[in-house]
Amino acid sequence: MEVLMPEPQIYVERTLAIIKPDVIGKEEEIEDLILRSGFHIIQKRKLQLSPEQCSNFYAEQFGKIFFPNLTAYMSSGPIVAMVLARNCAVSYWKELLGPSNSLRARITHPHSLRALYGTDELRNGLHGSLSISSAEKEIRFIFPEAILEPVPTGQRARDYLNLYVKPTLLAGLTALCKEKPADPMIWLADWLIEHNPNKPKLRYRISQ
């Protein structure tokens, strides 16, 4: 008897976050802010990049006047790299970071992470991917073992929401209203796990 279980397909946007060498002492504080902002930390590692690795990571900045100082800064000590996941992860993380120049961030986005933890235009405390494509490339650079699933866009994304998310959520909320549990959030979370449309279904095939 052979048990066949289809592969679940879960699409979540991911981005790369880096806590830079000069603020690594604030790691726990920053992680707490990340989690409270709705992100999940999928992968995390502490490492120290060599100047050559930093040059490769920031290859698109090569030739700019600040490039030597940037590679020296990023290779000056350990960093903490994290893969963050949530809906629209790239844009939300960029918004949470604020402007790349920490001095400007303090004026225009005083509650942003770079305003809180950065020092100046170069030493801005944290890194974030600029786009979905750069996030995929940067995640593979830091986490070469990572498996990245494609993020649906346009009609594919609308089809996925209409087929799986909206009907399941509507059914769950309807059941919640009928049940009226003491702790609605925990009840709904358990219901959604139980009725996940991507939950593997066991199919049995009897071998002769």
* Marked catalytic residue, from 40, 109, 111, 127: 127
- Residue 24 near residue 127, CB atoms below 8 Å: no
**In the structure encoding, which two tokens stand for residue 148, read together?**
């990245």
- Residue 133 near residue 15, CB atoms below 8 Å: no
Count the neighbouring beta carbons within 10 Å of the beta carbon of residue 99.
19
β-pair partners for 83: 16, 43
- Residue 85 near residue 49, CB atoms below 8 Å: no
> What is the enclosing helix (H) or strand (E) of 129?
none
> What is the enclosing helix (H) or strand (E) of 189?
helix 184-194
Give catalytic status of residue 127 as yes or no.
yes
Cα 27 to Cα 24: distance, rounded to the nearest angstrom: 5
Count the neighbouring beta carbons within 10 Å of the beta carbon of residue 187.
16
Q: Which residues are catalytic?
A: 127
